[in-house]
Chain A
Amino acid sequence: MSDLLEKYVRPEKNPGTACKGCGLRLAHRKVLEAIDELGLTQGDVVWGTGIGCSGRQTFVTWKGDTFAGTHGRVYAMATGLRLALPPEKRLILTVGDGDAFTIGFLHLLNAARRNVDMTVVVFDNLGYQSTGGQYGVTTPLGSKTDSSPYGAWEPNWTQGGFDVLNILKEAGATFLARHTVLQGHEPVESLKKAIQNPGFSLVQLIYPCVTHYGVQALGTRNLASIYDWFRERTSDDLSADSNTHFTTGIVHDAVGSRVEFAAGLRGFVASVQKGGPDGAAD
């Protein structure tokens, strides 16, 4: 495992700066494992990050080219960047649940609509943890956090019959999966499919925050107890009750069903230059 870090991670960022016991390290490794198993090198991947624990802890860890966007806007940036990059270059974004599903959701939806070739990996720590632990749209209902001292009551996008990934499916995403980092190789397999998809992919990867969610919502500082809670709540069955479980698996696989945005736009531009749609006579 340390070989993987030496291979892909900048020495200045190894070890990383995440809290002791933070599940983010596992999430980060799942992505590196997927990259490694696909045989990709540092020059094959451009890595972008958002804001929050997920973004800050993974920014400029990648030895190759890397960028960080403002909060929630990295999907719009990646849309522009994709037009400039060669199609074979893989574009991976590691972001948080707040970055993707709240502040950046408009841009995420539009990236899915366009089917822009990018792999969004949402490192989901069930709320806003880098600011000290406030509830978000993936925080289980009833969770006590610093901004929900009586328990989170606002409807979220993971329970009560809602699934944020279904919204992205309707928006046009071509690959969607959800896992927890407590699962072994399943997340890596999904990440590999996501990275290989020449279109918009998103993998939601739920991980334990031991510093805030563990203490505030689960009432313990004991790492084993926190990890046990996540393990017990993880279900391999996508149709399990999402009110009580993290339902995992490949939510949507429509790889190859839609034209990728940059490829489509390049083709459109070429057709206009040839006098294509309605002619470019001017």
Chain B
Amino acid sequence: MHGIEDLCEKCEEVMQPFLDRVLSDTERAEAERHLDECGYCRRRYRFEESLRQFVRGCCEEPMPVELKRKLAALRTPLT
């Protein structure tokens, strides 16, 4: 017999492969079944998705214009 806590633990274990879409069909279906009935896990999955987006956003740092010019200057001159 598996209690709900075992199922949540399993769900936590497969969260990353689930969100990366690399779970097998069977594992995916199993996780989805649990997520349908478990708000605890559902909230944590949703949070992970927003967190990933947030981390990406935080890493946006435009390239300095000066660097762009330096890179272009490295091109082979046309003869």
Q: A and B: real partners?
A: no
Enumerate chain B interface residues (CB-CB to A < 8 A): none
